[in-house]
Structure 1
Amino acid sequence: MSNKISRRKFLGNTAAATAAFTIVPSNVVSGLGHKAPSDKLNIAGIGVGGMGHANLNNMKTENIVALCDVDWEYAAGCFKDFPNAKKYYDWRKMFDEMGKSIDAVVVATPDHTHAITAATAITMGKHVYVQKPLTHSVYESRLLTKLARKYKVATQMGNQGNSGEGIRQTCEWIWNGEIGDVVEVHAWTNRPIWPQGLERPKEVMKVPKTLNWDLFLGPAPDRPYNSIYHPWNWRGWWDFGTGALGDMACHILDPVVMALKLKYPILVQGSSTQINTESAPHAEIVHYTFPARENLPKVAMPEVKVHWYDGGLLPERPKELADGEVMGRDWNGGVLFIGTKGKLMCGCYGMNPFILGRKENPVVPQVLRRIPKAMEGGHEQDWIRACKESPENRVQPSSNFEYSGPLNEMVVMGVVAVRLQDLKRELQWDGENMKFLNISDSDVIRVVTSDKFEVINGHPHFDTKTATINAREAAESYIKHNYRAPWTLPPMPADV
């Protein structure tokens, strides 16, 4: 076989090899401090076995240059779809090796590692797209919000309904006064659809060869591997997830926060089925009270009470809803807005809103920017658009961290209220300072550590054990986690 090669073929092969192995950040290509729309971003994905894979598929217009996952078997499908991307277990190594050539990062790891990965990326000047819930704790949400502001990067939380038509209709109808002043809201989900209410397993399993368990744990306390945690089922475990409230409220409460211009609640109280030290409960209810806000031209914004239900629980059915009709016309969940002149319902993600008792939807002025195909990749593409714009001229993505940070703070603060329910009181929340005002140094909560039941000789026998925990210390650790060494967050920036 001849070893001769033509000059044209040699140059073509050399160019192809250079393109494959030399990744130049797109700001170098454009040389302008922003990217022309025709320039492609170099995007890295962290946590690509689940939703991260779906997000990256909606970003195929760009260069997917690096993929990082702690479980290479779980991530195999994404690796196959992007064969030219360099693969990593550890995102820290990825940033060390490729940081200068990465423009933007998608974070879709378990909840407890959202903040540390995204915060690191932001401090490197990278744009970030972070799956919902934005973070695992209130403090982490505040941190990402302030870091994004300081470093002027484009940000987006992965609550894709926020870019949709339904949430915009809901807002515009309410702002036009179609149901009067909203004074009460009920929101619900059919989740969890994963195991919850569990005790920590005693069995210690062998870690699969394709999984780096220590990297999965990240900043969470050390514990032995068990297949019940990963993949996907981590959502129900306090150290890794936030239960049904954290998982779905960023979708379902999104139209509530956006339409009513909510920020920090002032009161909260949670209740649930049995709660233990390890896992979120099977079902829960959370009651929030928000203060009055500045009135709009056609509608007032009085104090409003927002009620959350999950685990199959539902609010009282409105009498105006036809018999046999699904609440919100969506099995996954929905929202009921109660105003002084009427009631509005929508489904999960704010989809398909309708006003009870009306045959036709109202026709009102469209005042919000529309995002095409929001639920089919438009949410991700709108973030990509913003990444390519200069900070001075950027049209912010709909769920940028200035909006989604406070939204997520409210959601995960509700998770804390559920965990503190043994205080048996409505908790006063100081949102600005991220603390409860009516928990004393001497307050304690009792939380189940194990619960056994058996029938002996025809009689029920219960063996329930509890731990007594200082409530203030617990609240502080739930609001701001104590990270396992050597994992640390960047410092909280001063207000800018």
Structure 2
Amino acid sequence: MAADISRRKFIKAGATAALGLTVVPNTILGKSFGHVSPSDKLNIIGVGIGGRGAGVLNGIKDQNIIGLCDVDWSYSDKVFKNYPAAKKYYDYRKMYDELGKSADAVLVATADHTHAIIASEAITMGKHVYVEKPLTHTVYESRLLTKLAAKYQVATQMGNQGASDEGVRKTCSWIWNGEIGEVTKVEAFTDRPIWPQGLPRPEGLEKVPKTLNWDLFIGPAKERPYNPIYTPWNWRGWWDFGTGALGDMACHILHPAFKALKLGYPTKAQGSSTLLLTDCAPNAQSVRLTFPARDNLAKVAMPEVEVYWYDGGLKPMRPAGVPANKDLNDAGGSVIFHGTKDTLICGCYG
């Protein structure tokens, strides 16, 4: 009977059922020697495939990639060639119009400022959605996507893959077991930005490459003349398109702290940075967030805690006992939990 389960029925069974099916032997699903029949594959379309999107696609390349969209066909040329059966688009709206009814899920890995509009349209079409981190460009947009996902009952995932790594679970387990006592201070840093920041808005006019649709890249942002400093990749440091080093990496690095300490909203916030500019994120900054006490756990209390963030080359002082030659930067950053009994240090993904 399981061999007769179609792709459509499989999707309609919901995300919970899907997770359960992935752990049973292939033979139960009628798959011999690792072969997956076309009816068991998902039809997936991708938006923003030249950068991080290429890596995400590689992880699902065994599915039916039926459509790919990118505003820069030079930057994404290699990816297009890797999926010759997928139809190519500049405009995601045209792809939705033509392939929307056939698609089961949508991958979104564009610049931050277009995440919400592309993902929200996919969700309202009833499509399951994977959105790269940071989830959105603004807090409002994140809340909107959360409400839409609940309303349309679709499976969603944000690209902070480290959240499910073993390191995060170990960090939580040790803290919840009281191994380092009550945590009253957390320090976190990243080695970002590794793209330009702290720059004034460029002047002059540059010719738009023929392979780039600049208007579609701008999307919902305010119109501005093209300059190669914005895209590809470097949009992260510009406020109209990205969220700077903190927005780009804190969703990874601070996740163990939020999860292990069950943090909600801070009651106080204070920041300091290099020169503030209207268009570009600062070269470096430090931020202090104060979170109120939470409900105590069985083996440890959850008192008020101060969380410090550093980027742009700024780092916290090295805790006592850390070997002098030990690099605390693990895959892009690190988190230091200061407890009343001991100190715990984990990497970017736990």
Matching residue of 2:241: 240
Corresponding residue for residue 36 of structure 2: none
Cα 1:30–1:339 shift into 2, 3 Å: closer
Partner of 1:336: 336
Which amino acid in the other structure matches residue 288 of structure 2? H
Following superposition of structure 1 onto structure 2, how do residues 203-242 of structure 1 map, counting pairs within 5 Å? Answer: 203-242=204-243
Residue of structure 2 equivalent to 1:46: 47
Written as runs of structure 1 = structure 2, the 5 A alignment for 1:179-194 is: 179-194=180-195
TM-score (norm 1): 0.63
Q: Deviations over 1:123-157 (max 9, x none)?
A: 11111111111111110111111111111111111
The letter for the 2-side match of 1:346 is C
Q: Deviations over 1:326-346 (max 9, x none)?
A: 225x37310000111111001
Match of 1:26 in 2: 7
Which residue identity lines up with residue 26 of structure 1 in the other structure? R
Tell me the residue number matched to 1:168.
Answer: 169
**1:387-402 mapped onto 2 (5 Å cutoff):** none
Give the corresponding residue for 2:145. 144
Note the 1:267-416 alignment, pairs <5 A: 267-327=268-328, 330=330, 332-350=332-350
Matched, 1:69 2:50: no
Q: Gaps spanning 5+ residues in structure 2: where?
A: 1-5, 23-28, 30-39
- Structure 1 runs (4+) deviating above 4 angstroms are 29-38
SS of the residue 1:345 aligns to: strand
The residue identity in structure 2 corresponding to 1:349 is Y
d(CA) in 1 for partners of 2:121, 2:293: 36
Q: How many angstroms apart in 1 are the aligned matches of 2:94 and 2:264?
A: 37
Distance 1:182 1:310 in 2: 22
For residues 267 and 41 of structure 1, the distance between their equivalents in structure 2, rounded to whole angstroms, comes to: 45
What is residue 198 of structure 2 aligned with on the other side?
197
1:422 is matched with none
Q: Is 1:26–1:42's contact at 8 Å kept on the other side of the alignment?
A: no
Amino acid across the alignment from 2:192: R
2:288 aligned counterpart, secondary structure: strand
List per-residue Cα deviations over 1:407-445 (Å, max 9, x = no partner): xxxxxxxxxxxxxxxxxxxxxxxxxxxxxxxxxxxxxxx
TM-score by length of 2: 0.89
Work out the CA distance in 1 between the residues paired with 2:82 and 2:136.
Answer: 28
Asked whether the equivalents of residues 26 and 103 of structure 1 are also in contact (C-alpha less than 8 Å), the reply is no
Question: Within 2, Cα distance between the matches of 1:31 and 1:295?
Answer: 40
Q: How far does the alpha carbon of each residue in 1:450-477 deviate from its partner, in whole angstroms, 9 at most, with x for none?
A: xxxxxxxxxxxxxxxxxxxxxxxxxxxx
Instruction: Find the aligned partners of 1:62 and 1:298 in 2 and give their Cα distance.
Output: 45
What root-mean-square deviation, in Å, do the aligned CA atoms of Structure 1 and Structure 2 show? 1.6
Residue 253 (structure 2) aligns with: 252
AA matched with 2:238: W
**Counterpart residue number, 1:22:** none
Give the Cα–Cα distance (whole angstroms) in 1 for the partners of residues 105 and 224 of structure 2: 32
Q: Percent identity?
A: 66
Structure with greater Cα Rg? 1
Whole-angstrom CA distance in 2 between matches of 1:208 and 1:115 = 26
User: Quick one: distance in 2 between partners of 1:134 and 1:309?
Assistant: 21
| Partner SS state of residue 173, structure 1 | helix
Q: CA deviation at 1:323?
A: 2.2
2:148 and 2:341 mapped to 1: Cα distance?
A: 42
User: Residue 289 of structure 1 contacts residue 303 of structure 1 at CA under 8 Å; is this kept in 2?
Assistant: yes
Preserved contact between residue 90 and residue 215 of structure 1 (Cα < 8 Å):
yes
Greater relative CO, 1 or 2 (CA 8 Å, sep 6+): 1
In the alignment, the residues of structure 2 paired with residue 121 and residue 208 of structure 1 have an alpha-carbon distance, to the nearest angstrom, of 29
The code of the aligned residue for 2:240 comes to D
Aligned match of 1:84: 85
Are residue 55 (structure 1) and residue 56 (structure 2) matched? yes
CA separation of 1:30 and 1:335: change in aligned 2, threshold 3 A: closer
Aligned to 2:109: 108
- Gap change, CA 1:331 and 1:100, over 3 Å in 2: closer
Q: How many residues align?
A: 324
Matches within 5 A, 1:382-461: none
